[in-house]
């Protein structure tokens, strides 16, 4: 299965993806996490301490140009970049979870990450996975990745949304664009929930109930502030990671 996670900036999508990766591992899945956020933090969230050893795709300009088939002076890329060895050569593994980092724009006016996202899009479409393999893609905040069609190869898109008007507006826009690129399954996931009022607000404003609600957990904040991985957390989560995973598996296996 190929699962992408999106949402407004600051809603906690990276944390939820890490918790989902942990839930998948507990059920015996092989997990590849792709951090496609221009400001990547997944390594710390997963507890991969030597993330500096990962060579980001964004730093491989010449190789990307060759893979994407860009010709000098042309803004276009062909549709068949060879990406197989990227999976092998540009990832790290810890406790059965592999991590790949798309990379970041490191300077002002550094341009878009078009070649990197082109390779990622091709990679997602080309991957053939067994029932016990999962790819999780932590997308950049907002809607840009949908405008580029980066997650068109995903089986499922999780839209993380917090109980706020601005969060809901972004979530609904992401849902609209996800439907336009025909992602098969799109789910809302509520986060930073403090009360039944928050649950009701999200359900009413979104027009449907999120498939899972993650609480505004003190344990998550304390763990993140201490620079510790959240992937193995269980206390204070109200079983939300398992509820989310069960819904995904029930949907994708039917």
State the CATH number of the domain containing residue 184.
Answer: 3.40.50.300
- Per-residue pLDDT tens over the stretch 218-233: 999 999 888 888 888 8
CA angle 2, 51, 227 (to 5 degrees): 95
Instruction: Report pLDDT for 10.
Output: 87
Three-class SS state of 132: coil
Instruction: Report pLDDT for 129.
Output: 62
Instruction: Report pLDDT for 32.
Output: 87
Whether residue 134 contacts residue 245, with contact meaning beta carbons closer than 8 Å, is answered with no
CA–CA dist 27, 30 (Å, integer): 9
Alpha carbon of residue 251 to chain centroid: 18
Nearest to 48 by CA among 36, 57, 59, 35: 35
Whether residue 2 contacts residue 122, with contact meaning beta carbons closer than 8 Å, is answered with no
Starting at the edge strand that comes first in sequence, how are the strands of the sheet with 30-35 ordered?
92-94, 97-101, 30-35, 133-138, 2-7, 156-161, 185-193, 212-215
CA–CA dist 121, 115 (Å, integer): 10
Q: Which residues contact 31 (CB under 8 A, 6 or more apart)?
A: 21, 24, 25, 96, 97, 98, 134, 135, 136
Enumerate residue ranges in the chain where pLDDT < 70.
37-40, 49-53, 56-89, 103-130, 142-150, 152
Count of CB atoms situated within 10 Å of the CB of 193: 22
Whether residue 93 contacts residue 46, with contact meaning beta carbons closer than 8 Å, is answered with no
- Per-residue pLDDT tens over the stretch 92-140: 888 888 888 776 544 434 445 556 666 666 666 555 566 788 889 888 7
Residue 246's φ and ψ, nearest 5 degrees, are -60, -40
CA–CA dist 185, 247 (Å, integer): 11
Pairing of strands 185-193, 212-215: parallel
Whether residue 245 contacts residue 211, with contact meaning beta carbons closer than 8 Å, is answered with no
Q: Please report, for residues 33, 84, 223, 234, the alpha-carbon distance to residue 44 in angstroms, rounded to integers and kept in the order given.
A: 13, 26, 11, 17
- Supply the DSSP symbol for 77: -
Q: Residue 227: which domain range?
A: 2-252
CA–CA dist 4, 150 (Å, integer): 10
Number of structural domains found in the chain:
1
Q: Please report, for residues 13, 120, 178, 222, the alpha-carbon distance to residue 10 in angstroms, rounded to integers and kept in the order given.
A: 8, 23, 20, 16
């Amino acid at each position: 299965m190929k699962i992408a996670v999106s949402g407004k900036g600051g809603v906690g999508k990276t944390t939820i993806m890490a918790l989902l990766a942990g839930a998948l591992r507990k059920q015996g899945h092989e997990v590849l996490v792709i951090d496609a956020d221009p400001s990547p933090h997944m390594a710390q969230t997963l507890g991969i301490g030597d993330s500096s050893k990962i060579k980001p795709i964004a730093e491989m300009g010449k190789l990307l140009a060759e893979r994407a088939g860009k010709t000098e002076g042309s803004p276009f890329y062909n549709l068949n970049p060879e990406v197989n060895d990227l999976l092998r050569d540009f990832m790290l593994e810890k406790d059965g979870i592999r991590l790949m980092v798309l990379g970041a724009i490191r300077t002002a006016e550094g341009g878009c990450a078009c070649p990197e996202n082109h390779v990622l899009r091709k990679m997602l479409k080309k991957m053939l996975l067994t029932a016990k393999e999962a790819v999780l893609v932590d997308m950049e905040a907002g809607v840009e990745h949908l405008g580029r069609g980066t997650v068109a190869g995903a089986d499922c898109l999780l839209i993380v949304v917090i109980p706020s008007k601005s969060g809901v507006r972004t979530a609904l826009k992401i849902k609209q664009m996800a439907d336009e690129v025909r992602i098969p399954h799109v789910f809302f996931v509520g986060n930073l929930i403090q009360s039944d009022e928050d649950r009701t607000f999200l359900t009413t404003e979104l027009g449907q109930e999120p498939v899972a609600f993650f609480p505004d957990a003190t344990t998550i904040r304390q763990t993140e502030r201490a620079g510790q991985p959240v992937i193995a957390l269980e206390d204070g989560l109200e079983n939300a990671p398992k509820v989310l995973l069960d819904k995904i598996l029930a949907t994708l296996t039917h």
